[in-house]
Structure 1
Amino acid sequence: MADRPSEGPRPGPGEEGGSSSSSIPDDMWEKFLEDSERDIRSSAPKEPSARARMVTERLREQDTRGELPPGWRTGPAWQEMDGRAARRRKLWAVLGVVVTAAVVLVALKPSLLPGDPFGPGESEAAEASPLPDETAAPTAAPGASDPETPTLDRPFAGSPAERWADGEAGIVLPEAKAVGAVSADRVEQALKLTKKLLVGANLDPKAVRGARPEAALSVLDPKQPGLLDDLDTGLRSPSRKHDPVTLFSRFDPAKVRPAGDVIKTRGHMTIKKGTQGGVAVHADYTFVYPVVRADGPTEVTRTIVRRVLDVEVADPARYKVTPGRLLLMNYDQEIGNSSCFVYDGYLHPEFASSTSAGPDPSGPATDPYDRSKPLEHGDGGDCGTVTRT
């Protein structure tokens, strides 16, 4: 602190140069000296204390002679400075609350920052990332998904299929290797024909919307007794005995339409020696179809279809077959979320906001996404439920 001037006491009441109205209170004088000395020390390179005393004495003399404006120590300049500081403190107090809240929110969900500079968390990234290709039957059903409601923007929300591949990308062929006397080229041909059958029966946009599945039919051998005749009968006059949905995924365009252009697909193929002198292909795939009603409402539901096929490419030198065509040895299916005992040639998805077109479920509950178990069927007289769609 700077020293007070030592040349005697300040003038008192009635003495020269002052009066009771112009006397300076001690505490204000001390504050002024402290501020002055601090400012001088910060700017003066030499003898700050001596200079402080000189400035202080000069200001005191000017004050005694009445040369300084009233309130120069405590007047508007100090008040304005203090006011600005107060406003600044208030502003930072408000901003502090906002910034604190923002910091907490970003810490809880960093993806809110533009561009998500921190990247998603490990669990969130794993949940959003696509699954690797399936090369063999899984050992368990997919884990539970967040119970989200599907929408037109996200028709697979709340479904394990959200991480599955889109359409044909989910049908990945295994490496073609020779099987016994069957060359790798013929094995590759059998794999490609099987994929063409799966795509034409379950992914072709026109066929899914109810048109005749010409691409799928063109892969099948017309020399296989009764096969194409039975399929044609089912497509032309569907019935319980000839039901085309046992092989083809078809929806009635007058009742439902696809919710977007994506059908999710997951499965695998295996190869082995066939019974007809060629190669046999076993295919096990699940397709997930999001749909909405055709009459306008945007409620999204999903139908899940699992198909298991056994096909062969026979040896044309030993059997009466058509080269480049498939023999369909066995085919089976499991359909989730479609009305039971409706045999009009179409799948009939059920919506949460409407009643079922078929009988009430009476059979066991199954998980349509569980690909770890072989297909099981009862006596055909029950109608089961699905645990999720």
Structure 2
Amino acid sequence: MDDYDIAEHPDLRDPDWQRRAVKQARAGVRRQRRTGKRLAWTGVTLVVVAGAVFGLVQWGRSTSAHYDGSAPPPAEMRPTAPSVLPDIARVNLERPFDGTPAETWGESVDGLLAPPPGPVGGFSAAQVQTAVDQVKKVIHAARLDRRTIEGRDATAYVNLLAPSARADARAAIADHTSDSALTDVSFAAEGFKLLPANPRISGTITAAPGTNAGRIALHASFVVGYAFDPDGYTPIMSPSYIDVFMRHEVDFEMIVGSNYDKNDRGLWVTYSDYLVYSMACEPAKKGYLAPAYSELTTNGSPVADEAAIYDVTKPMPEVGDSCS
């Protein structure tokens, strides 16, 4: 019997089929959650890469193949700051992350931990480093750049992706009938802006051989904190009133092989799972971030392990009841 490669099936290589698969994946896997005085929201999406079926195979796995939370965390990743947000605490608007898990996090993607540059599969150390650097640029543009967050302008992020990946990313970001935009970028809701303090970030990036020749697989586990300007709102009873947190598990593939179409070469986001915590719920449903003080609630169930939200050495935590 001849060997049969399902990746060569004409349906999987058809651009129209790929676009439909992306839309169905984005639309069919949203989950909304609510918890206590703080709100949490989780979502996940999968993107088909250049007709490959690897993403569809991976769909049944609950976590990334690059991370299972079983290995003991490196010393650099062991939390030294508070492990959870305080219920009641004094807030210094000039230092809005004091007393929170983010008080010791970095202000740029340079603080993300990555292994020392080295060859991976058939790729040189220089090629791997280039791929890691591109992932860092994408994370900065999507999650830390104020032009993206406050200006709600995703141009810098989209332009860092492979040309063939850009149209679907733009469509998802523009869809504010759901939380779709949050999968790709962090947009502040209309009428809300950040304090002068920069967002804080903590996490890791790893690299491995890709699904096929000419591909480097990368995984980023990271969490970002945003401090919103209360704009005169009082009293601010806790950092949780103004600090919003996003936990991310994201798979990328860098396509570099010369046997791929020119527009397919570059960085693709193949899987993205995220959780938003301590935020306003209604804006999140439309793909925007807003601080919890604008929508305080006392309903819902607690997060099973709040500390896991901020600690990327732990798997993504489950949260409480639906945010409806």
* 1:6-52 per-position Cα deviation (integer Å, ceiling 9, x unaligned): xxxxxxxxxxxxxxxxxxxxxxxxxxxxxxxxxxxxxxxxxxxxxxx
After TM superposition, give the deviation of residue 182 of structure 1 in Å. Answer: 1.1
Cα distance between partner residues in 2 of 1:230 and 1:243: 11
SS in structure 2 at match of 1:292: coil
Partner of 2:172: 234
Is residue 247 of structure 2 the alignment partner of residue 306 of structure 1?
A: yes
After TM superposition, give the deviation of residue 372 of structure 1 in Å. Answer: 2.9
Cα distance between partner residues in 1 of 2:220 and 2:317: 16
Partner of 1:361: 300
| Paired letter, 1:297 | Y
Partner of 1:262: 198
Partner of 1:170: 111
Asked if 1 retains the 8 angstrom alpha-carbon contact of 2:208 and 2:216, the reply is: yes
Partner of 2:260: 319
Unaligned 5+ residue runs, structure 1?
A: 1-133, 385-389
Q: Which has the larger radius of gyration?
A: 1
| Paired letter, 1:317 | S
Cα distance between partner residues in 2 of 1:265 and 1:315: 28
SS in structure 1 at match of 2:292: coil
CA RMSD in angstroms comes to 3.1
Change (3 A) 1:175 1:291: same
Partner of 1:149: 90
After TM superposition, give the deviation of residue 374 of structure 1 in Å. Answer: 1.4
Cα distance between partner residues in 1 of 2:158 and 2:221: 19
TM-score by length of 1: 0.55
Return the match for 1:349 from 283, 291, 307. 291
Partner of 1:279: 216
Cα distance between partner residues in 2 of 1:152 and 1:335: 21
Asked if 2 retains the 8 angstrom alpha-carbon contact of 1:142 and 1:369, the reply is: no
Aligned length: 241
Change (3 A) 1:238 1:137: farther
After TM superposition, give the deviation of residue 184 of structure 1 in Å. Answer: 1.5
Asked if 2 retains the 8 angstrom alpha-carbon contact of 1:178 and 1:187, the reply is: yes
Unaligned 5+ residue runs, structure 2?
A: 1-72
Change (3 A) 1:138 1:164: closer
Asked if 1 retains the 8 angstrom alpha-carbon contact of 2:300 and 2:321, the reply is: no
Taking only the aligned residue pairs, the percentage that are identical comes to 25
Partner of 1:215: 156
Cα distance between partner residues in 2 of 1:182 and 1:354: 49
After TM superposition, give the deviation of residue 314 of structure 1 in Å. Answer: 1.8
Greater relative CO, 1 or 2 (CA 8 Å, sep 6+): 2
| Paired letter, 2:203 | G
Asked if 2 retains the 8 angstrom alpha-carbon contact of 1:282 and 1:309, the reply is: yes
TM-score by length of 2: 0.65
Cα distance between partner residues in 2 of 1:138 and 1:157: 18
Asked if 2 retains the 8 angstrom alpha-carbon contact of 1:140 and 1:371, the reply is: no
